[in-house]
Amino acid sequence: MNSSAEIFALLLSALSYVLALMLLVAAAEKLLAWPAWQSALAAYRLVPGAIFPVAAFVIPATEAAAAVSLMTGARPAGPAAGAALMLLYAAAMAINLKRGRIDLDCGCNPAGRAKPIAWGLVGRNLALAGLFGLAALPLPSVGPWGHMLAAASALAAFAAIRTAAFLADLAPPTATKGPA
């Protein structure tokens, strides 16, 4: 592989795998920490009580379905679902930030330490939606070796991202300064 088109195809393939892994882990974390996930979702105060149980299940189910679609090359369904989820998360956070609810747990890691919502997380989710848009581009065939290389690269990148997030969670929380 030496042409720029082949390299671009490998990068798109690796991006699809990284995004798929991210969604798959997010879905698994929600399902494995079900009470914490339901609590985090309820705290946003955006889902009416009558449909809350359905929404609590549909969100991780959509994450898992989008992940499988990304891994199997189902375009544009997988990337579109992933982008829609990221836009939904960004909107939910932005609405609550505008309400002044800056102490609300983002729900990004229901089994881990709480992480308050912030405009930076809104930006992160918007950037992720853009990456899902890139992943929706038609993917030229990279062959079996190309897919293995892309998958291995994606696993390495995902492991690095998760390790960095884990190490960040180990850091002591920063104290917020109140009025003097």
User: pLDDT tens-digit profile of 88-132?
Assistant: 999 999 999 999 999 999 888 776 777 899 999 999 999 999 999
CA–centroid distance for 139 within its chain:
21
In whole numbers, what is the pLDDT of the chain averaged over residues?
85
Instruction: Say how far apart CA 141 and CA 75 lie, in whole Å.
Output: 13
- 118 neighbors 97 (Cβ within 8 angstroms): yes
At residue 169, the pLDDT reads: 63
Q: 64, 57, 59, 61: which is closest to 25 by C-alpha? A: 64
How much is the average pLDDT of 148-157?
Answer: 72
